[in-house]
Chains A and B, each alone.
Chain A
Amino acid sequence: MSEGLTLEIVTPEKMAFTGTVEEVTIPGTEGEFGVLRGHEAFLTSVDIGELNFTKDGKKTYYAVNTGYAEVTSNKVTILIETAERSDSIDKDRARRAKENAEARLAQIAKDHVDYEKMRIALIRAITRLHVSEK
Chain B
Amino acid sequence: MASLKDIKRKVGAVQKTKQITRAMNMVAASKFKAAQLRMENFRPYASKFMDVLNSLALRVESMSHPLLAVRDPKRIRVICMTSDRGLCGGFNTNLIKATERFLRDKSKEGKEASLINIGRKGRDFFRKKANVIGQRVDVLSKYDMTLAVSISNDVIVPFIKEEYDELYLIYNQFVNVSVQRPTVVRLFPLPSIGQDVDIDPEKNLDYVYEPSEEALLQKLLPMYVHVLVYRALLETSAGENGARMAAMDNATSNCEELIKSLTLKMNKARQAAITAELMDIVGGTEALSKG
A residues near B, CB below 8 A? Answer: 10-15, 28-30, 40-45, 66-68, 70, 72, 77, 79, 81-82, 113, 117
Q: Are B153 and A45 in contact (CB under 8 A)?
A: no
Which residue of the partner chain A has the closest CB to B47? A10
B223 within 8 A of partner (CB):
yes
Total inter-chain residue pairs, C-beta < 8 Å: 75
**Given known contacts A15-B44, A82-B146, A42 and B208 CB-to-CB distance under 8 angstroms:** yes
Min distance, Cβ B94 to any Cβ of chain A, angstroms: 27
Complex formed: what's the CA distance from A72 to B145 in Å?
27
Min distance, Cβ A83 to any Cβ of chain B, angstroms: 11
27 contacts between A and B (CB under 8 A): A10-B45, A11-B145, A12-B41, A12-B46, A13-B38, A13-B144, A15-B44, A30-B210, A41-B205, A42-B207, A42-B208, A43-B56, A43-B208, A43-B209, A43-B210, A43-B216, A44-B216, A45-B211, A45-B216, A68-B52, A68-B216, A68-B220, A79-B45, A81-B145, A81-B149, A81-B223, A81-B226
Interface of B is mostly: helix
Give 9 A-B pairs besides A14-B41, A79-B48 with Cβ atoms closer than 8 angstroms: A11-B45, A11-B145, A12-B41, A12-B230, A41-B207, A43-B207, A70-B207, A81-B146, A82-B146
**Given known contacts A44-B216, A68-B219, A81-B223, A15 and B41 CB-to-CB distance under 8 angstroms:** yes
**Given known contacts A12-B230, A81-B149, A28 and B48 CB-to-CB distance under 8 angstroms:** no
Which residue of the partner chain B has the closest CB to A82? B145
B49 within 8 A of partner (CB):
yes
Complex formed: what's the CA distance from A113 to B227 in Å?
24
Contacts of A45 in B (CB 8 A): 211, 216, 219-220
Complex formed: what's the CA distance from A43 to B208 in Å?
6
Which residue of the partner chain B has the closest CB to A14? B41
Complex formed: what's the CA distance from A99 to B207 in Å?
41
Provide the B33-57 mask, 1 if CB < 8 A to any CB of A, else 0: 0000010011011101100100010
Which residue of the partner chain B has the closest CB to A30? B210
Contacts of B42 in A (CB 8 A): 12-13
Q: Are B145 and A30 in contact (CB under 8 A)?
A: no
Min distance, Cβ B206 to any Cβ of chain A, angstroms: 6
Q: Are B145 and A29 in contact (CB under 8 A)?
A: no
Q: Are A41 and B45 in contact (CB under 8 A)?
A: no
Min distance, Cβ B12 to any Cβ of chain A, angstroms: 45
Q: Are A13 and B145 in contact (CB under 8 A)?
A: yes
Complex formed: what's the CA distance from A13 to B37 in Å?
9
Complex formed: what's the CA distance from A70 to B216 in Å?
12
